[in-house]
Amino acid sequence: MELLSPPPPQGSGSGSGGGVLVVCMNSGDAGELSYANNSDMQRTIAAVTRKERQEMAAALHRARRPATAMAIADLGCATGPNALLMATEAVQAVLADADRLQEPPPEFHVFLNDLPTNDFNSVFRQLHHQRQLLPDGCRCLLSAWPGSFYERIFPADSLDYVVSSSSLHFLSRAPADAANEGRMYVSAGGPARVLDAYRAQFQGDFRLFLACRAEEVRRGGLLLLTFVARREAVPSAHDCHLWDLLAAAVEGMAAEGLVDARRLDSFDAPYYGPCPEELTEAIREGGFFEVRRMELFEVSRRQQLMVAPGGGLAEQTASTIRAVVEPMLGLHFGWDAMDGLFRRYSLLLDKYYRACDKLDQLTNVFLALEKK
């Protein structure tokens, strides 16, 4: 996954209320609570787009013939079982295409990107197994490129095929002027100024992301992005339920004096799931890329893993969310509160799933862009 944001400026704290927030995941030291052990949902999301991504990788290989090398980048690779997934699938697709054409495959240059705090060493330890899956004579050179994808990372005109999955819904920072008392995020029926502030922050971040990639991707290259989105311009209650219930869990603890209620008012999540119109506007204003495909799809742990509402669905969802957001919540609300917070969160999720016909369905967008 895959969470990226710039490092905080000197003197910043945990980054609430519009401050810059370093978004990271629970490390391997967290054991059962680590991101590596709680990233099955992200793998499920990536699996939905696998066929299209591989088809596009093969088509790009044919379009680039007779190129001797192909540069592949994964923005937000993280650690764990998914870290090499997207790049490996692209390599496999190009190898299969070269075999069909009875041509030697290109040399692969694979660039893995995430924050400097990411454990790239654990990713590299997976390489021995991955290389065993490649045919003899295939050269695949892999390197790590730490940094935020809201800035330049790679040399100009150096990339052919860029992927990012489950990352771009995280902003570079929370909106500075959200004034979002009692909430962590946009809420259905909440103040219009909050939605406007989040929308403006996303638009600025996404345009910056595209401008940076436009300098790095070669003409005709592909940018394949998957991240949380929503279908309508006005967010529904279900679009916001993960953050709303997390805020409710904090409110419950504050009512019992376990956390400071004012800490909730000063925390805004650096997160936004855009609607298609907002994406189209940002892409059009940038003018760097042409939209080849934009598809919304839903994923559900219950549907994919056959988990019933009372059969651990809430617990698994809470574990996934905890692995992703606990570092920033712990810094803001206090690490001693985390066990109690996520126990309450799991109970609230269970109640919600038992009453909601959508259960844990999460809307994502698959966006395929071609460099003009």
pLDDT, tens digit, 9 for 90 and up, residues 101-116: 999 999 999 999 998 8
Number of other residues whose CB lies within 10 A of the CB of residue 191:
15
Give the least confident one: 177-181, 191-195, 345-349.
177-181
Which residues fall within 8 angstroms of residue 256, CB to CB, at 6 or more apart?
A: none
Q: d(Cα 129, Cα 326) in Å, to the nearest integer? A: 31
Q: What is the pLDDT of residues 313-346, one digit of tens each?
A: 899 999 999 998 999 999 999 999 999 999 999 9
Count Cβ atoms below 10 Å from residue 34 Cβ, excluding itself.
17
199 token code pair: 């929308």
Contacts of 10 (CB under 8 A, 6+ apart): none
Please, what is the end-to-end C-alpha distance for the chain in angstroms? 27
| All domains of the chain in start order, with CATH | 28-371 (3.40.50.150)
Residue length of the chain: 372
Which three-class secondary structure string do you get for 130-191? HHHCCCCCCCEEEEECCCCCCCCCCCCCCEEEEEEECCCCECCECCCCCCCCCCCCCCCCCC
Between the alpha carbon of residue 330 and those of residues 169, 188, 342, the distances in Å are 20, 26, 11
Is the peptide bond between 116 and the residue preceding it cis, with omega within 30 degrees of 0?
Answer: no
Average pLDDT, the chain: 87
How many of the other CB atoms lie within 10 Å of CB of 284?
10
Query: How high is the pLDDT of residue 81?
Result: 82
Per DSSP, the residues of 300-324 read: -HHHHHT--IIIIIHHHHHHHHHHH
**Can you read off the two tokens belonging to residue 330?**
């712990």
With bands split at pLDDT 50, 70 and 90, how would you rate the model's confidence at 128?
low
H or E element, residue 305: helix 301-305
Flag whether pLDDT at 10 surpasses 50: no
